[in-house]
């Protein structure tokens, strides 16, 4: 009997949830996550995965019909999630197309948020090639959009600055900072993902030093196979922090284990706790290993709050 009791206690301890890191829990409050229409179709109910109110970005990949994008946005809003579709400038043919998209998102799906980006295609489909051109149309303000996010690149972007510098992306963020004073919409910077906290912190501090005060929503790659992450990181132009993955790949004991963003999130959370005015305000997840896997990791680490009422 004593042995049985010991086993029961041992099982209870093994099944107990791991203690939460309060700094990580606070840092994950108001996190967002990204889906595509084809991945959303595989989710039976988002309520089984995400806290109500979690902001969900909808990635618009070249070739995806606008009808599929709007239908995904409507489903999300119907289930209680603020939908933030991508507006990639280079796949939007002209002003009339942009207005049509905005009107359909708002009229059919109740969308009032947008991530406005240049987009990953090399040759524009029409008259737009930058996010700034989309913003300059004034159509988002005319439609009463309440929130506009723009892109940030903590490790630069060679598509924009081929020499590996940051002059062009820095100039664009200065323009967007000025634009934030002209629009009624709340603005923030949503970034590409990176794997090392140090360059992220240095980049965020440099933004503040340069007078860019827009809140930052830092991109974090969710749990995934190492090979998957390396493939996406190379395709997306992730910079020096790619070495974090490459170093891990050289460790045979870790090669077959799934990557989890615990280390980078913990380091950023600790920095935020020690520096409350740190301009990274929220986490945005790229669920490269699947939305369910990412959502479970967030919940296990305390990300239960969804978007707070006063989220920036």
**Residue tagged 């049985």 (tokens):** 4
Given a cut of 60, whether residue 4 has pLDDT beyond it is no
- Left, alpha or beta for 215 (phi > 0: left; psi -120 to 50: alpha)? beta
Q: What percentage of the chain has pLDDT greater than the value 70? A: 79
Contact present, 312 and 59 (Cβ < 8 Å): no
In terms of Cα–Cα distance, which of 141, 224, 249, 227 is closest to 187? 141
- Beta bridge partners of residue 53, listed in sequence order: none
Q: Residue 26 phi/psi, 5° resolution?
A: -65, -40
Given a cut of 70, whether residue 249 has pLDDT beyond it is no
What distance in Å separates the CA atoms of residue 212 and residue 57, rounded to the nearest whole number?
23
Counting Cβ atoms within 10 Å, is residue 86 exposed (0-12), middle (13-18) or buried (19+)? buried
Q: Which residue has the higher pLDDT, 162 or 72?
A: 72
In terms of Cα–Cα distance, which of 57, 15, 26, 24 is closest to 40? 57
Q: Which residue has the higher pLDDT, 240 or 59?
A: 59
Given a cut of 50, whether residue 194 has pLDDT beyond it is yes
Q: Which of 2-6, 18-22, 207-211, 230-234 has the highest mean pLDDT?
A: 207-211
Rounded to 5 degrees, what angle do the CA atoms 204, 208, 244 make?
A: 10
What confidence score (pLDDT) does residue 20 get? 84
The model's confidence at residue 237, banded by pLDDT at 50, 70 and 90, is low
What confidence score (pLDDT) does residue 240 get? 60
CATH code for the structural domain at 21-300: 3.20.20.220
CB atoms within 10 A of CB 221: 26
What confidence score (pLDDT) does residue 247 get? 60
Please state the rounded mean pLDDT for residues 122-136.
Answer: 95
Element (H, E) at 273: helix 262-274
């Amino acid at each position: 009997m004593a042995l049985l009791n010991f086993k029961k206690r041992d099982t209870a301890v093994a099944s107990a949830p791991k203690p939460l890191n309060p700094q990580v829990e606070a840092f994950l409050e108001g996190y967002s996550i990204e889906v595509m229409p084809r991945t959303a179709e595989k989710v039976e109910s988002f309520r089984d995965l995400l806290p109500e109110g979690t902001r969900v970005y909808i990635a618009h990949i070249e070739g995806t019909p606008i009808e599929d994008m709007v239908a995904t946005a409507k489903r999300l809003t119907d289930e209680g999630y603020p939908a933030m579709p991508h507006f990639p400038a280079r796949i939007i043919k002209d002003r009339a197309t942009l207005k049509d998209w905005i009107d359909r998102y708002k009229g059919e799906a109740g969308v009032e948020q947008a991530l406005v980006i240049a987009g990953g295609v090399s040759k524009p489909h029409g008259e737009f090639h930058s996010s700034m051109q989309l913003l300059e149309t004034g159509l988002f303000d005319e439609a009463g959009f309440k929130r506009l996010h723009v892109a940030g690149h903590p490790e630069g972007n060679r598509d924009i600055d081929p020499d590996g510098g940051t002059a062009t992306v820095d100039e664009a963020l200065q323009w967007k900072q000025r634009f934030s004073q002209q629009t009624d919409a709340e603005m923030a910077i949503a970034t590409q993902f990176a794997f090392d906290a140090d360059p992220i912190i240095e980049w965020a501090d440099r933004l503040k030093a340069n007078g860019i005060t827009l809140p930052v929503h830092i991109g974090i790659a969710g749990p995934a196979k190492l090979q998957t992450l390396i493939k996406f990181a190379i395709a997306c132009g992730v910079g020096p922090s790619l070495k974090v993955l490459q170093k891990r790949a050289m460790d045979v004991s870790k090669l077959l284990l799934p990557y989890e963003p615990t280390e980078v999130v913990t380091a950023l959370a600790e920095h935020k706790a020690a520096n409350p005015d740190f301009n990274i305000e929220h986490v945005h997840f790229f669920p490269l290993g699947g939305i369910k896997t990412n959502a479970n990791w967030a919940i296990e680490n305390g990300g239960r709050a969804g978007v707070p009422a006063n989220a920036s």
